[in-house]
Amino acid sequence: MTYRTVNPYTNQVEHEYENTSDAAITAALTAAHARYQEWRADPDSLQMRKAVVTKLGELLRARRTALATIMTRDMGKLIGEAEGEVDLCAAFCDYYVAEADHFLAPQPIYTESGNAHLLKQALGVLVAVEPWNFPFYQIARVFIPNFLVGNPMLLKDASNCPTSAKAFCDLVAEAGAPEGSLTNLFASYDQISELIKHPLVAGVCLTGSARGGQAVASVAGAALKKSTLELGGNDAFLVLRDADLAKLKATIAPSRLYNAGQVCTSSKRYLVPAEMADQFTAMVKEVFEQVKMGDPLDRSTTLAPLSSKRAKEKLQSQVDRAIAGGATLVYGNQPVDLEGQFFMPTILTNITKDNPVYDEELFGPVAQIFTYQTEEEAIAMANDSAFGLGSTVFGADIAHARQVASQIEAGMTWINAGWASLPELPFGGVKQSGYGRELSEFGFTEFVNQHLVYEAE
């Protein structure tokens, strides 16, 4: 059995699911394609889809804690953070229902030789491959816009959060989405490859690791299917000399410990002026010492377990390799006396360019602190990464902070704040962090046919 909920706080197997058969996948594809054709032939069907998304938002809000609990049991996140995730999904519903008509309106193009306009049309059935770290959010941010566009979706979610995937898809059906709109598949990698190659599939979006992205995008590329990839990050958090220290301290926990540090845009590398290094390191240590590990369903817990035994083992091996490679352990990396998959918040310094983890993503509560002499050097360090997802610049002079932000090779930069995700803000990266954007109008139109219609004079 591949798809299982193993509660990372108790290590108990709570649910197991049979893999979806080839015949069921074919039936799901057939239903999805029929839906695409029906919606494409009926422009008024957008009103039905808007009503479904409105209802979905209502159901999410009405069942906030029950739904959040499913995610917590699947992958261990704190219940309050899981509730926040449900709220954010409901906000996606509001935003896209309000904007769908505008985003799908034909767009006139000025030309001297005739009349031209762009029709915004659905592309067809999409495959979505999604990770476990935000079990609802990741599905919502691709499903909601594409459903409104008229692209039905076949979902392959992470094998360690199947109960969340099932719950989300059940909720969409309960909100009134007709069969074929969103189908959850407990599918193997081979089944997903075959699906992507199928002529009735128009494209694939994946959020996950570079390894998963490479595998899925190469199948899509060979089949000439459009893909978008939202991959990992090794985000730099650049502290400028005029940073407001109180604000900075308040940003450390959300930027590194939220979701037990398992966020693609978590701040993973803190770049600090050399003369501020001791003060900053002490600040991070004070924040890390205050965490309370425990039951993620208990609202007094502030640091959740990692998502799985495998995730903990991977992080431990990276920290071990970092230290063996010359990094200094300043704090943490001690065993935690709890049976769940807990990892003690850890601070590493003196990570040199030849350290084996220098260009790796550490997916958990580990802060790497680097020092710099000049801002030029700091910007070069921020950019010295295979990844280019998010970044933070902390400084009181906003004009200067903006100037620094513009020099960072990343898809996103937050000034005087840790990472965030909002419906209207495009989310995505450059370099090995992937291509394409999710959320905002950019995310809405990734799988839209910008169909040019030109009328000669």
Q: Applying CB under 6 A, which residues contact ligand NAP?
A: 129-133, 156-159, 189, 192, 207-209, 211-212, 215-216, 230-233, 264, 361, 363, 389, 427, 429, 433-434
Residues paired with 267 in a beta bridge: 235
Least distance (Å) between residue 191 CB and ligand NAP: 9
**Residue 211 CB burial class (10 angstroms; 0-12, 13-18, ≥19):** exposed
Is the Cβ of residue 157 or residue 295 nearer to ligand NAP in the bound state?
157
Is the Cβ of residue 149 or residue 204 nearer to ligand NAP in the bound state?
204
From residue 165, alpha-carbon distances to 7, 67, 187, 262 in Å are: 15, 11, 12, 19
Distance CA 70, CA 129 (A): 20
SS3 of 111, please? strand
Active site residue: 83, 85, 230, 446, which one?
230
Is the Cβ of residue 150 or residue 434 nearer to ligand NAP in the bound state?
434
Active-site residue flag, 58:
no
Distance CA 207, CA 170 (A): 21
Indicate the residue type of 226: K
Which strand (E) or helix (H) includes residue 434? strand 434-435
DSSP category for residue 303: B
Is the Cβ of residue 131 or residue 150 nearer to ligand NAP in the bound state?
131
Enter the tokens of residue 200.
């009735």
SS3 of 448, please? strand
Least distance (Å) between residue 155 CB and ligand NAP: 9
Active-site residue flag, 264:
yes
Least distance (Å) between residue 274 CB and ligand NAP: 29
Is the Cβ of residue 7 or residue 133 nearer to ligand NAP in the bound state?
133
Least distance (Å) between residue 216 CB and ligand NAP: 5
Active site residue: 264, 375, 438, 446, which one?
264
Is the Cβ of residue 229 or residue 238 nearer to ligand NAP in the bound state?
229
Distance CA 73, CA 345 (A): 22
Enter the tokens of residue 35.
């839906």
Least distance (Å) between residue 388 CB and ligand NAP: 11
Least distance (Å) between residue 60 CB and ligand NAP: 20
Distance CA 353, CA 449 (A): 44
- The runs of H, that is alpha helices, within 105-209 are 137-149, 162-174, 189-197
Least distance (Å) between residue 141 CB and ligand NAP: 8
Q: What are phi and psi of 390, to 5 degrees?
A: -115, -175
From residue 369, alpha-carbon distances to 237, 272, 275, 289, 354 in Å are: 9, 7, 13, 17, 16
8 A C-beta contact, residue 286 and residue 332: no
Distance CA 68, CA 444 (A): 26
Is the Cβ of residue 91 or residue 216 nearer to ligand NAP in the bound state?
216
For the annotated catalytic residues, the residue numbers are: 230, 264
